Amino acid sequence: MIIGLIGFGKVSRNLFNLIKSDEITFITSTEGRSKSTVHNIEESGIEIFDTFNEVASKSDILVSATSPKSALTVAKECGKYVDGIYLDLNNISPDTTLEIDKHVENLIDGAIIGKIDSDNPILYISGEKSDELLFLDKFITTKKISSNIGDVAILKLLRSAYTKSLSALLIETSQIAENHNLEKEFFDVLTLTEGDDFKEKSVSRIVNTVNNSNRKREELEEIIEYFSDSELIMVKAALEKLNR
C-alpha cells in the first residue's frame, strides 16, 4: 500500500512516524515547498517524487494536510489524479468539505484530535469509504463517525466553538484574579474540581489564544457564519472578547 502526503507539517510528519509497516510505503514531493519543509522531507527518508500530481496518481491513500486556505485548491488540482482514497485532514468548514467532495472521488472527511505531534492522537473520519481506513487503528486510534461527508467537519467546528469560548472566559477571569492579586489562588481553587493539571493546561490555552488571536477570531467568525441559524450567544461573546 502507498500513502501519499500533500504537506509535510506536524500532522503528516506524525502520521509518517506512527504508521510503521513493511506493507506501507509513504511518498511525497518537495514541489513548491519551503527550504525548511524540504529539509524535513529529506531528513525523514520518505520517498520523494517530482510533483504532487505524480504522488496523487501513485497513492492508494492520498492525505491532504496543508492549510485551510489551500485545501480546496489542492483538491481541485490533485484530486482528479487519485484513484484511491482522498483523506482531507485540513481544519476546514463543512461547506468547504462539501465543495471538495465535488472535485474528489472517494473523499473521507478527517480530523486529528489531541496534540498533533503526540504518540496517541485520535483520527476521526466520516464518509462512505471510511471503513477502508479502519485498519489504521493498528497504528493510531481511528474512529468512524458516520458515512456522511461533513460530519467530522461539523464536530471540528463545535469543538472549536467550545475551546475558544472557554479560552476567552479563562482570559477574562484570570485577568480579574490578577487585578485582585489572587491569580495563584484562582487556579488553586479551580484545580480542586478541574484536576491537577488544570492550571498548566489553562495557561497554555491562554497563551496560545493570545499569540494567535487573529486566527482564533477568523475561526470564530467562520463558526458563527456556518451555524447562523443557531443562537450562539457564548460564541459571539467570545469573539467580542478576542476583538477587544
pLDDT of res. 46: 95
Distance of CA 194 to the CA centre of its chain: 25
Report the distance separating Cα 50 and Cα 48, nearest Å: 7
Does 63 have pLDDT greater than 90? yes
Percent of the chain with pLDDT over 70: 100
pLDDT band for 244, please (50, 70, 90 cuts). confident
Domain ranges for the chain, please list them.
2-147, 154-243
Entry pTM = 0.84
Average pLDDT estimate for 221-236? 91
CB contact set of 155 (below 8 Å; sequence gap of 6+): 111, 124, 145
Average pLDDT estimate for 87-114? 93
pLDDT of res. 236: 95
pLDDT of res. 147: 96
pLDDT band for 137, please (50, 70, 90 cuts). very high
Q: Which residue has the cell 484570570?
A: 174
pLDDT band for 118, please (50, 70, 90 cuts). confident
Convert the pLDDT of each residue in 178-214 to its tens digit.
999 999 999 999 999 999 999 998 988 888 888 888 8
pLDDT band for 73, please (50, 70, 90 cuts). very high
Average pLDDT estimate for 97-113? 94
pLDDT band for 67, please (50, 70, 90 cuts). confident
The angle, 0 to 180 degrees and rounded to 10, between the axes of the packed helices 198-211 and 183-194 is 120
Among the residues of 19-125, which ranges form H helices?
35-44, 52-58, 71-78, 94-103
Convert the pLDDT of each residue in 7-45 to its tens digit.
998 899 999 999 999 999 999 999 988 899 999 999 999
The CATH classification number of 2-147 equals 3.40.50.720
pLDDT of res. 86: 97
pLDDT band for 6, please (50, 70, 90 cuts). very high
Fold of the CATH domain 154-243: N-(1-d-carboxylethyl)-l-norvaline Dehydrogenase; domain 2 (1.10.1040)
Average pLDDT estimate for 217-223? 87
